[in-house]
Chains A and B, each alone.
Chain A
Amino acid sequence: MPPSIHPVDLIASLRQKHLTPAIVFLTSRRACDEAMESFNHADIVLPPVRQDAIAAALERVITQYPSVADHPLIPTVQRIGVAAHHAGHLPSWKIAIEELMRQGCLDAVFATTTLAAGVDFPARTVVITQSSIRKSRDFADLTIGEVQQIAGRAGRRGKDQVGFAVVTPSPYIDLGILTKGFTGHPESIDSQFIISYPMVLNLLKAHPHEQIQAILAKSFAQFQLNQRAELLERKLDTLHEQMEPFGPRVCTDWITQWQTFDQVRRQRPQRHQVRRHESPELSARFHFMTPGRVVGLARGRGIVLRQYRSKGQKNPMVSVLRLDGAVTECPASNVGDIFDRLFECDETPAFPWCSATAFDELSSQLTELPTRLPILPIMVPKDSEVLPDAIVQSLGDFPCPSCPSRPACQKDFATALRLRQEQQRHTKSIQALRASLWHRFQERIEVLQKFGYLTPSAHLTDEGEWARLIRIDHSLLITELIRAEAFSGADPALLTGVMASITHDNDRPGSFPRISSGMSSLLGQVRKLAESLSPYEDPPLLRADVAALAERWIADPALTWIGLCRSTTMAEGDIYRLLARTLEFLSQIHTLRATHPGLADTASRAIALIRRGVLEELP
């Protein structure tokens, strides 16, 4: 059996069942292009009437966007009525395909899922061939929301009575993910509040430092943090109730008193024994492996059901509920990630360590966890201090051995201590949740003060006043470059090249056009600066080949778009996007005309030079 259906057969069977027009989502751009190639000798041609309709529709698009005219795919599109639509194409081509699709001229479009969100055309049928998509550099399973977004393109309002989502297997498919995606409830979304340098500068420009905390408190991030804090507060309330029987006894703080006494009692005979080695990191982490906590193990994830110490070696251990419903015992050192997600867990003293209903609930919650979970930040404390000898030796000074409440203390101590520790932990977590955004903001302020964009009283310096206008990625690198006068005397081509290599964050390989010596020395400087800034801002890829490409487009006004594309292996669409984004960066630099007239002038000349050919024709 072939690993997946042949594109020609696919289209033939869709046509036979009247399931066209269809969008076929494939794993990669390459798969789309290969699918188009496979139609070269196919005989499932359209009747002449429809071929003429496509030709007429294309004609209308070409009058608006001439660059579509000599696209190599046009013959296939016209003959078979299928097309490819992915990020490697020019926007004009994509507009043309969308237009054809809207008019109902095409039978199928091969597209990549990466653009599923950006595709703004529906069809009668959506064909899905994969259950994972490429995200930055890795493949990740589709989330329920993504599956529904993809399947949602099926069924055109007013043109279809029913829409169809057809799954066809390929080596990249896990049917379970897709069926769950079709039938499931979409995931909750979480705030992703990143505090960037331009945000700090712009906020401080408009509002005094004291008001910022109130503004941050209005964010969705804080709203969600508050929700979690409230949950903890409710837990804290119940803990408080549980603590009631353990109030003051003979001594007010009997828990601490007993703790010290107990510790001393245990420590004394063992003074000279070798202490079992347990890394402080492990002890700190073990502290968080409480029942209900989601943890990541070498294979899959699980929920902690209980934590305990092994009988002989007293190694820290946890019982974990695994994805398949099994309960496994595992040393705490095997736990890889501790996630920031805690479920309610009704503990019981015997296997399976929680009540049956809680067990079922946890199992289902475990399977429904989103693929990405935030990891709990855990601070590793310094080695815990051993009690000073003086206290150990003075065991006789403790009143405990002869205290009337000794039996009660001894009995309740374990529970009381656990409750109190939990209380303290929750209180700390609540504080952290309430203040974390503000702390992150403060950190950014400190960096900006260090570089001289902010005064010690958190007002904008002259440098800060202009730096706040650069509101793009890698803003710190760009403003530092401007301050270091890296661009003084640079011609538009050089400036564009550097900006292009800063904007480009894609690591798809490209060929290496020759790079000018001026550009390579400037890029060397930029790279050095980016590295020195890396503690404060992630350095960009700074690829030399994209810099050379952009430089060439500016430096040689006679260069045609086709000539530019021939000089590299990058896809047309990628080159277009690179230049369009560079244009955006340059126009940000252009806003500095009040403080850096020379640079702004270079930028505006570069903008004028970029806008030609295909880049002028399009929005």
Chain B
Amino acid sequence: MTIEELEQLLAQQPVAVLHRLSRGRVHRHFRAGKLRLIELILQHSSQNLAGLESDLQALIAERQSHPQPPQPPARPAARATVSPPRRTAPRGGEPETTEAAVSLATWLEGIGVPPPQPFVPDPWQEEALAALNETDVVVSVPTGSGKTYVAVEAAKRAMEDNRTVIYTSPLKALSNTKYTEFSRIFGSDKVGILTGDRQENGQAPLLIMTTEILRNLLYDAASGEIDIRLDTLGLVILDESQYIADPERGVVWEETIIFCPSQAKLLLLSASIGNPQDIADWLTSIRPTACRLVRHSKRTVPLRAGYLHPNGKLVPLFKTAAIPSGHAGHLHPEAKRLFFEYEEETLPSGRPRR
């Protein structure tokens, strides 16, 4: 096959095939439009056209054997200029995908403020609080599920028992926010804050600090300079404890947990992580009681993903209204088409348009 024939054949292929062909051949190929992509592929394989050809034939054969695309992609040259993803667009006539895909109206359905209803704690929140009566608890739930409620309730119960509570967060800004929030809930005389450069109400029963400060307190306690507060310490809440994997500061969380007095209960609040069971097992292995893992992956407020095209058109990102967990490929055909269009039109930055 000559280079011209090859170019023609490439032009007839859907962009998806070209992208697959570009892997290992063209750097940052996802940034390039179709014509540019063909040019780059040919340029790269100018020494090895036979190899390119065989790869291309293999891909075409594979596509034809697949039932997924209803039409074989190799079409007469007349249709080659039609950008292939467009065929999956609703008007392109591919009934089964359009039927499956959700419409914008359905996607936007339910938007708005829910009717006011009395606050009822979620089952996982109840579970975490109940478990905390007996043992340490690791909570791993999605962002915004209401970890703070667990922290507040747990702190309230410990304080009713005349126990000191320490609440730590990784960032000073978060500590300050929580200080304001907790002062509002418990009254400002009940809440104190200790950060690297701020000390207020240091004898209060509920102390908010950065994790580093708690670690330092524990160091001092271990070397004999006992802080009285640690004797009555009943509960340690470590917020955002996924920071244990932070390359620079993670070790501070580990030290804090290792040196945490055994009479105090530990409550680790973390965003969703892959291996919360490991953390729980670890705590079980070093703490006096078996740690309880409370895990919950469903969001309280459901989340939907959308795609907003630079021309202002909004479409759902996935075929279903909810996010299809585990199926990254279930894109909405319209979103897919628009994004391909975008990719084809925006060339790699700094390169002149063809």
Contact = CB atoms under 8 A, between A and B. Distances in A.
Contacts of A171: 346, 349
A299 B26 CA distance: 11
B173 A165 contact: no
Interface stretch (B3-11, B39-47, B245-253): B245-253
Interface SS of A by simple majority? loop
Nearest to A151: B303
Contacts of A174: 30
A47 to B, nearest CB: 19
Given A156-B301, A158-B114, A145 B271 contact: yes
B48 interface: no
Contacts of A281: none
Contacts of A193: 250-251, 254
B81 interface: no
Nearest to B338: A169
Of residues B116, B282, B286, B323, which shows the largest number of chain A Cβ atoms within 10 Å of its Cβ? B282
A322 B286 CA distance: 41
B301 A161 contact: yes
Interface in B176-217: 176-177, 179, 193, 195-198, 212, 215-216
Interface string A573-615: 0000000110110010000000000000000000000000000
A461 interface: no
A5 B110 CA distance: 26
Contacts of B309: 5, 168-169
B327 A183 contact: yes
A537 interface: no
A157 B196 CA distance: 33
Interface stretch (B66-74, B140-148, B154-162, B230-238): B140-148
B144 A155 contact: yes
Nearest to B246: A192
A227 interface: yes
Contacts of A182: 305, 317-318, 323, 328
A120 interface: yes
A187 B274 contact: yes
Contacts of B286: 218
Contact of A220 (B112, B172, B279, B317): B279
B326 interface: yes
B324 interface: yes
A3 B24 contact: no
A539 interface: no
Given A148-B143, A583-B197, A169 B339 contact: yes
A17 B108 contact: yes
Nearest to B301: A155
Contacts of B304: 162-165
Contacts, number: 265
Contact of A196 (B251, B274, B310): B251
Interface stretch (A32-40, A199-207, A285-293): A199-207
A179 interface: yes
Contacts of B342: 1, 169
A619 B193 contact: yes
Contacts of A165: 303-306
A185 B248 contact: no
Interface residues of A, number: 92
Contacts of B255: 199
A137 B305 CA distance: 30
Contacts of B1: none
Nearest to B249: A192
B289 interface: no
B29 to A, nearest CB: 11
Given A155-B301, A167-B317, A189 B143 contact: no
A161 B114 CA distance: 5
Contact of B306 (A18, A164, A187): A164
A223 interface: yes
A152 interface: yes
Given A120-B174, A152-B142, A190 B323 contact: no
A511 interface: no
Contacts of A161: 110-114, 301-302
Contacts of B57: none
Interface in B316-343: 317-318, 323-331, 339, 341-342
Nearest to B300: A157
A10 B311 CA distance: 9
B306 A152 contact: no
B20 interface: yes
A188 B274 contact: yes
A324 B240 CA distance: 36
B142 A120 contact: no
Interface string A1-28: 1111100011011000111000000000
Contacts of A1: 310-311, 341-342, 345-346
Nearest to B107: A164
A18 B112 contact: yes
Contacts of B257: 220
A123 B166 CA distance: 29
Given A18-B111, A156-B301, A168 B143 contact: no
A588 to B, nearest CB: 8
A224 interface: yes
16 contacts: A5-B311, A145-B272, A148-B142, A149-B143, A154-B303, A155-B301, A160-B301, A167-B317, A169-B342, A182-B328, A184-B328, A190-B245, A193-B251, A215-B258, A219-B258, A580-B197
Interface of A: 1-5, 9-10, 12-13, 17-19, 91, 94-95, 98, 117-118, 120, 122, 124, 127, 145, 148-149, 151-169, 171, 174-176, 179-180, 182-196, 199, 202, 205-207, 215, 218-221, 223-224, 227, 299-300, 322-324, 326, 468, 471, 580-581, 583-584, 587, 619
Given A13-B314, A94-B173, 4 more contacts: A5-B310, A118-B174, A152-B299, A218-B286
Interface of B: 20, 23-24, 27, 30, 108, 110-114, 116, 119, 142-144, 146, 170-174, 176-177, 179, 193, 195-198, 212, 215-216, 219, 222-224, 240, 242, 244-248, 250-251, 254-255, 257-258, 271-275, 278-279, 281-282, 285-286, 299-312, 314, 317-318, 323-331, 339, 341-342, 345-346, 349
Q: Please provide the 8 A-B residue pairs with the shortest distance between their CB atoms, ordered closest to farther.
A: A152-B143, A155-B301, A584-B196, A189-B245, A188-B274, A206-B222, A192-B250, A188-B275
